[in-house]
Amino acid sequence: MKLISLLSLILKEAKSERTKTGYKVPGKYLTKDKGDMKDEIERVRNLSSDDPSAYGKWKADYADKSKTKKYKTKKSAATKAYEKMFGKKEESFISYLEAGGQKIPGNITLYNPQLSYLKEKGVKESTDGRELFFPISLVQELRNDARVSEFKKGFIDTYPDRDDYIASHVLSRIKDKLEKEVREVKVNGVVKYRALQGELTRNGTFRFDVRKK
């Protein structure tokens, strides 16, 4: 096969598509049952993260209508390299709870790659390991949902395969916690940080509860 033909094939396979309302879906999410996947994304994209109907089984992930046989997927080179460095973290960034027959987010875990990146951006750790102090400049960036900043892009890059869905969800939950459970830290009388309350574990991860208080 000619190089130009091979490149064309790769580009075609990775090409993004749009849902019925025009929402653009990256090609990497459309490897199986494109129609079903676009329908599912269209269904949940405007739902609140606190809405139980946004979670559960997606028919696009299953080979049968009864949703008992999941499609087999292959790990990418990026995922294998990540697991070699930091261990397996499959589906453990967000811990889910069962509520009314639906899965809802319970806890979120920040692992070493995420914590290291946040510290590079000025986030500080409390001496007792129960809080992360976010500079007001980062809090303001998190508030701007419409803008994909360099900070957000860098945070996404800390996840296996640069999983923007998981990374964006985590950033959204961090923003909510910083807004709802306000504890401001002043330096020389000026508010410089907002605290994210959680717990630093023995293996160097930071876990925080995302459920409503």
Q: What is the pLDDT of residues 68-117, one digit of tens each?
A: 676 666 666 655 655 555 455 444 677 766 555 556 667 889 998 999 99
The values of phi and psi at residue 38, to 5°, are -65, -40
* Mean residue pLDDT across the chain: 76
Q: Which helix (H) or strand (E) segment is 98 a member of?
A: strand 94-99
d(CA 37, CA 124): 39
Q: Which parts of the chain have pLDDT scores under 50? A: 1-13, 86, 89-91
Give me the half-sphere count of Cα atoms (radius 13 Å) on the Cβ side of residue 72. Answer: 0
Helix, strand, coil fractions of the chain, as percent rounded to 5: 40, 20, 40
Could you tell me the pTM of the whole model? 0.57
